[in-house]
Amino acid sequence: MYGFHLHIFRAFQKVAPKWLKRHDPNDPHWYRSRSRRPRHNPRKISHEIVQAVKMVRLQLYNQNLFCGAQVILWELQDLGIKPLPSLRTINRILAREGITHKRTGAYVSKGRAYPKLPALKANQAHQTDIVGPCYLRGPIRFYSLNSVDLSTARCGITLLFKVWPRHY
């Protein structure tokens, strides 16, 4: 029995200073638990940066331009926003604000048949298309010239490596 009381007494010695410091005779709820959550987060994104990301995203969307995180980052650089958020931070802001648009469901055909050229032998008919702009990390935007032989379905691709300046 003596050991049990000694254990309680030692536990009380450790906890008593906290409760004595917390005691406030003017507050009837001084004994209730307090939150352990940090009072401030040093890595929290500022409200101004969130508003800038939303504004740039909506401007690009309204101009029917590509409006992904990389282009938003380039626009923020052009606007001179400091500090620049990372790509992951921009994606988090867009998701949190609910301004990402994903495709809803599978592609639904409009019922129109695409025009076809009869190609019975190789090199009789080709379908050629310029694909782009495609974006790599950094300010590199490129196009490719794709050509498909319609009879053999073989594809030839030529990358066009000229970097075009962005005009908005």
Q: At a CB cut-off of 8 Å and minimum separation 6, what does 121 contact?
A: 151
Residue-wise pLDDT for 5-63, tens only, equals: 666 767 777 777 877 787 788 888 887 888 888 888 888 889 999 999 999 999 988 88
Other residues' Cβ atoms within 10 Å of the Cβ of residue 138: 8
Indicate yes or no: pTM above 0.95: no
pLDDT score at 103: 63
Cα 45 from Cα 94, distance rounded (Å): 13
Residue-wise pLDDT for 52-111, tens only, equals: 999 999 998 888 888 889 999 999 999 998 889 999 999 999 999 988 876 667 777 788
- The answer to whether the beta carbons of residues 45 and 85 sit under 8 Å apart is yes
pLDDT score at 141: 72
